[in-house]
Every structure is written in structure tokens, then in C-alpha cells.
Structure 1
Amino acid sequence: MYRHASRRLIQALGDGGRRRSFSTDLPAASSEDAAFVEAWRKVAPSIDPPKTPLAFMKPRPPTPSSIPSKLTVNFVLPYQSEISNKEVDMVIVPATTGQMGVLPGHVATIAELKPGVLSVHEGNEVTKYFVSSGFAFIHANSVTDIVAVEAVPVDRIDPSLVQKGLADFTQKLNSTTTDLEKAEAQIGVDVHSALNAALSG
């Protein structure tokens, strides 16, 4: 309900109901690139213009006129791809503002992730990952890209190591004297507390 209301509001407020173009929309990207090349040729006609970032970007897939039944998810880490172009029913991400559920047709959003559980729902099957941090890029075309610094399936986490780590970092937090050591210890406590909550929840 809120999703449809926000779309109507955006249409009412923005350019008389016309959809605002994004940098990755092909017509807008082509015209901006052509304008840059034209301006370059006026200044330095004997030198070939450099390629702009738009030349390296793929055009954004069009936003469908109706909401699809599935959400397409990509989930990547710096060293591997966990999920690639998988159609699912929903994902729940641990955003810094709280747990956020993403369904097909979700409004375009960028969400910063905090340590917590990312769950991927496909029918009755739910796959859970613990993520340390990262970002979720939710596009208007029912595609969600999730980029995490580190992630591990929740069922591979050792509870005894989590408890030991939490105790160690709590002790360090209480005994350190410098701001840097306190900050590092606090991060350790936060991450291990989130791990502990992931295992108990």
C-alpha cells in the first residue's frame, strides 16, 4: 500500500508526472556523453576525447509496467559471488535503520548494512547469512544487489568461538586506555554480540 502511495506521490511531484532519468538509463547516458564529446572537441579538437564513466556502464534494465512476482537478487563479497541473478520471494537485510524486508516492486533505495542476519526467502526455504557490513542497492526494476565485506552462512558459525570472542573483547573494552584500542574493542563486542543474537534468533 505504501509502495503504491509513494509512487503516486513521486509522479505528482516530479516533472508533471514524467519519470526522472537516471545516469544509467541509455538515452540520458548517450545524450550526456555526446554533450561531453562536443564540448571537448571545441576545447581540444586535435586530441581524442577520453571515455567518460558512462561509456563503461551498462544501461539500466527498464522498470516493468507491472510488479513482477519474484525479486532478482545478487549477493557478492570481495572474493566471490554468493548469489547471482537468483529469483526469490523476499530478502531481509540488517540495515542500520533496522531489519528491512525487500519484496518485488520495492521503491529504489540504498541501505547501509550493519552486523546481522541477511535472510533469503524462496518459498518455504530460508537461507541465512551473517554479514559484517556492506550495502544493499534496491532498484526500481525489482533487482537487489547486496555487497558485503564479509559473510558466512549462519549454520557454519561455532557458538563456543562466538562466546569466547565476546568475552575477550568485553575484557579488552574494560581494560584498554587509548581511544583506538577502545574503538577496536567496541567493534569486536558489537560484531560478536550480533553473532550471538544471530545464533539465538
Structure 2
Amino acid sequence: MASFIRVFQRLPTVYTSFGRGFAAPAAAASPAEHGGPKELKLTLASPVKAIYSNTTVKQIDVPGMASNMGILPVHVPTIAMLKPGVLSVYEEDGKVSKFFVSSGSLSMNIDGSCQILVEECASLDELDSNAAKQLIDEANKKSLDSTATDVQKAEAGIEFEVANEVLKAAVGGGGGH
């Protein structure tokens, strides 16, 4: 029993040495220095059109479900769901294009390619703040309707959330990224 306790007490020391030995070389250089991708290739598409098709860009800011994310060429491979909000594309020539997306998914690959598939996508200059305000009012009425089912109230909540994000994007220009 005493020998088991001595071995057990030494395990943290053995484990720490082992962990440090493998972690040190990985932190020494960035992914680009290891031959990682130097370009970010974006494909952004909705069911009706492809906005970008394997186009080289500098950076993408997306409204992820967990949080807003900035994507660069050396970003860790990721799969994420998008929530309603502003998606910003920083192009090679310095131009920043901003779009409102209702929802969708993002797939960032180890080769520096990024595919973003969205249900709806509109340039911010296409948004109508008055229409968004009207949708917010309608969604509020639906959610307060005593004859509405739970499903109808849930749908009204989603409509409210999307319309509210459209309004923020239309009025504020999506400057939150």
C-alpha cells in the first residue's frame, strides 16, 4: 500500500513534465510559419445567389451563436452556426462589405477556405428600417395575442429577434464588429 501511495504522489510531476515537453514546440511558431494558409478564400452563398465564390479576402467578422467571431487565414478549423446579424467582409483592396444575414452556418477549413451558407443575405444599403419597425410591431402583437398557440408565440419571438437585428443593422450600419 505504501508503494502505491509513493507512485501516486509522483504522478503530477511526471504528467507536468510530459505535457510541457510536447506543448513547447507547438507554441514556438505561428501556423503561417509552419506552412499554414496565407490566404483566406471565402465562399458566401444563399439559396438564391453566391455573393463570393472562392474569393481571397483579408478577414471576415461573423455573428456566431456563441459570440461574434473574426476569421483570418490561420483561424483554427471551425464549424459554427450563425445568428441574425451583420457579417463583415474585409476585402484585399481595403473595402469593407457588410451584409445582414438571417441565419446560417460557417465552415472554416485547415487550408484557409471558409464557406458561409446563409438562409437570407442582404447588403446593409438594401435594408429598410421602417419595414423592420413594422415587423417588430407585428411580432409583438402576435406574441401578446391570447388566442395564439405556443408555436405561434415562439415564431413571433423569432420574427421579433430577426426584425430587431435588421433594425439595428439598418440604423447603425453594423458598426458593432
TM-score range, shorter chain: 0.7 to 0.9
Aligned counterpart for 2:52 among listed residues 79, 83, 97: 83
Gaps of 5+ in 2: 1-18, 27-31
- Aligned residue number for residue 168 of structure 1: 138
- Aligned residue number for residue 46 of structure 1: none
Alignment of 1:192 onto 2:151: no
Per-residue deviation, 1:175: 1.7
In structure 2, distance between residues paired with 1:89 and 1:124:
8
- Asked if 1 retains the 8 angstrom alpha-carbon contact of 2:37 and 2:112, the reply is yes
Q: Which has the higher contact order (CA 8 A, sep 6+)?
A: 2
Identity of aligned residues (%): 34
Alignment of 1:132 onto 2:102: yes
Helix, strand or coil for the counterpart of 2:73? coil
Aligned counterpart for 1:145 among listed residues 97, 112, 115: 115
- Aligned residue number for residue 80 of structure 2: 111
- Aligned residue number for residue 96 of structure 1: 65
- Asked if 2 retains the 8 angstrom alpha-carbon contact of 1:92 and 1:99, the reply is yes
Q: Deviations over 1:147-166 (max 9, x none)?
A: 01111111101111111111
Helix, strand or coil for the counterpart of 2:74? coil
In structure 1, distance between residues paired with 2:169 and 2:110:
30
TM-score normalised according to structure 2 size: 0.74
Per-residue deviation, 1:68: 4.0
- Aligned residue number for residue 4 of structure 2: none
Aligned length: 143
CA 109–64 in structure 1, closer or farther in 2 if over 3 Å, else same = farther
Per-residue deviation, 1:76: 1.2
Amino acid paired to 2:159: G
